[in-house]
């Protein structure tokens, strides 16, 4: 009998005590971000009905068609080792009737995932991810906030040279027209495409945009771009996402060919990379996104639930751990409940609200917000229920004047202060 070497399965690895330090550091930073932005933790099973991913992620995607580990149980169930977390979270949202909770529902997760990929640097068959998902809110401010959360986590982990790439892949309506256009374009050049892309042309021409082969790249660079074919609603949504990102000074590149490999996406998609600093890092960093995500407004419906929009992202923990710089241990946020609620009115108010949240985060002061609730009455009601001490009101007028109204929820007294003084003023009041 042939004796095999005793070792971990191909593409899978141990996380040894030395490496645990990096993992723990990342976990702490994620936990802090989750607490700050009001995300609840969810753990879903490592196995799911395979159907969840077939329907959710899409049967003809590489992740499902080629990479998913499927097993048949003795009882005849067809289960899959989860290749990603979003479909599982959506399944849990439906199963536990989370549409009955105040929306949006914000959930985060951390754990191992499985994809039968060709092992290479930064690509494993069992890898760890953390993810943040916001379900039940279609506003573009949410897309910007998701990107802001991941960007903030990477900054807190002392990543430098970050590049955020964003695109919009439209909705089912405008994308179907674009796909036809793209099919026509690639069909007339199919002899020059690689064999995988010729197959993609039959199944989903959008995937060709993802191809890294030089000969395909030459053709892709001349291909029609989704951005020129978005419907009015998708165009408006994307424009607003970019405006929010501009407002919080978050640098990004528009990448018209970013499509992502999972079928549930609509409208905004994004990836975050770190540009290589040295030769050794180059091969890994050039190809590998640290974070990937986007909006998925049809996922819950695909899984048999209601029409509930969603947006989120996930990061590969090994990829982050590989580039962690030595640095001071992140402090765990003091478990504090919010004393501050930021209420906003209109687009300008929302934009300034995002900026203000960042300022409070820098000073480690917990704030709550409810960006999806447009009426001031609803927001004040929510603030009241949460029992916060101060509500910061940012209407169109305040946003234009660069001020904020502080409402003392105990006495009902209101006072207007300059935007750049508000954090200090709140600090002073909370110390009293």
Q: Which residues contact ligand HAM by CB under 6 A?
A: 84-86, 115, 117, 122-124, 127, 129, 131, 133, 289-294, 296, 312-316, 318-319
Which is closer to ligand HAM, CB of 186 or CB of 273? 273
Q: In the complex, what is the shortest distance from the CB of residue 172 to ligand HAM, in angstroms, rounded to a whole number?
A: 17
Please tell me the total number of residues recorded for the chain in this structure.
432
226 vs 173: CA distance, rounded Å = 12
Please name the residue that has the structure tokens 């992140």.
Answer: 330
3-state SS assignment for residue 11: coil
Which is closer to ligand HAM, CB of 292 or CB of 309? 292
Nearest residue to ligand HAM on Cβ basis: 316
Which is closer to ligand HAM, CB of 87 or CB of 226? 87
DSSP structure class, residue 123: B
Q: In the complex, what is the shortest distance from the CB of residue 408 to ligand HAM, in angstroms, rounded to a whole number?
A: 38
3-state SS assignment for residue 88: helix
- The residues, any chain, with a CB within 8 Å of residue 166's CB and separated by 6 or more, are 147, 241, 242, 245, 252, 253, 254, 255, 258, 268, 269, 270
Q: In the complex, what is the shortest distance from the CB of residue 294 to ligand HAM, in angstroms, rounded to a whole number?
A: 6
Which is closer to ligand HAM, CB of 133 or CB of 263? 133
Neighbours of 212 (CB within 10 A): 9
- Specify whether the CB–CB gap between 104 and 370 falls below 8 A: no
- The residues, any chain, with a CB within 8 Å of residue 43's CB and separated by 6 or more, are 109, 111
Q: In the complex, what is the shortest distance from the CB of residue 113 to ligand HAM, in angstroms, rounded to a whole number?
A: 7
* Backbone φ/ψ region at 362: left (φ over 0), alpha (ψ -120 to 50), beta: alpha
The values of phi and psi at residue 134, to 5°, are -120, 115
Which is closer to ligand HAM, CB of 110 or CB of 186? 110
Q: In the complex, what is the shortest distance from the CB of residue 342 to ligand HAM, in angstroms, rounded to a whole number?
A: 24
Q: In the complex, what is the shortest distance from the CB of residue 123 to ligand HAM, in angstroms, rounded to a whole number?
A: 4
C-alpha distances in Å from residue 70, one per residue of 60, 82, 407: 15, 9, 55
Which is closer to ligand HAM, CB of 26 or CB of 314? 314
């Amino acid at each position: 009998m042939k004796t095999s070497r005793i070792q971990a399965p191909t593409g899978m690895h141990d996380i040894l005590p030395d490496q645990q330090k990096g993992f723990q550091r990342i976990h702490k930073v994620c936990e802090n971000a989750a607490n700050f932005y009001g995300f609840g933790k969810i753990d879903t099973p490592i196995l799911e009905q395979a159907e969840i991913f077939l329907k959710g992620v899409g049967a003809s995607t590489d992740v499902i068609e080629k990479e998913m580990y499927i097993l048949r149980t003795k009882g005849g169930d067809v289960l899959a080792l989860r290749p990603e977390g979003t479909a599982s979270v959506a399944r849990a949202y439906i199963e536990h009737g989370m549409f009955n909770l105040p929306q949006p529902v914000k959930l985060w997760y951390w754990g191992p995932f499985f994809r039968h990929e060709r092992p290479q640097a930064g690509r494993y068959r069992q890898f760890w991810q953390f993810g943040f998902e916001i379900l039940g809110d279609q506003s573009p401010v949410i897309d910007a906030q998701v990107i802001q959360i991941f960007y903030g986590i990477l900054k807190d982990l002392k990543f430098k040279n970050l590049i955020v790439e964003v695109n919009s892949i439209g909705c089912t309506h405008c994308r179907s027209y674009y796909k036809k256009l793209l099919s026509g374009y690639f069909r007339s050049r199919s002899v020059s495409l690689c064999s995988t892309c010729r197959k993609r042309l039959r199944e989903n021409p959008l995937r060709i945009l993802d191809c890294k082969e030089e000969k395909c790249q030459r053709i892709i660079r001349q291909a029609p771009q989704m951005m020129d074919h978005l419907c009015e609603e998708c165009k408006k949504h994307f424009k607003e996402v970019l405006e929010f990102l501009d407002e919080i000074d978050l640098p990004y590149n528009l990448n018209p060919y970013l499509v992502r490999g999972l079928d549930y996406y609509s409208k905004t998609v994004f990836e975050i990379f770190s540009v290589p600093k040295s030769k050794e890092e180059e091969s890994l960093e050039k190809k590998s996104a640290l974070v990937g995500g986007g909006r998925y407004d049809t996922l819950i419906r695909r899984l048999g639930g209601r029409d509930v929009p969603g947006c989120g992202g996930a990061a590969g923990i090994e990829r982050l751990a590989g580039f962690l710089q030595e640095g001071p241990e992140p402090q765990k946020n003091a478990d504090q409940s919010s004393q501050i609620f930021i209420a906003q009115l209109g687009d300008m108010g929302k934009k300034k609200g995002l900026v203000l949240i960042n300022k409070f985060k820098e000073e480690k002061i917990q704030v709550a917000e409810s960006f999806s609730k447009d009426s001031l009455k609803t927001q004040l009601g929510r603030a009241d229920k949460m029992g916060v001490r101060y509500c910061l009101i940012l209407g169109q007028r305040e946003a234009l004047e660069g001020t904020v109204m502080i409402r003392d929820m105990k006495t009902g007294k209101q006072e207007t202060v300059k935007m750049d003084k508000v954090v200090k003023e709140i600090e002073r009041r909370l110390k009293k």
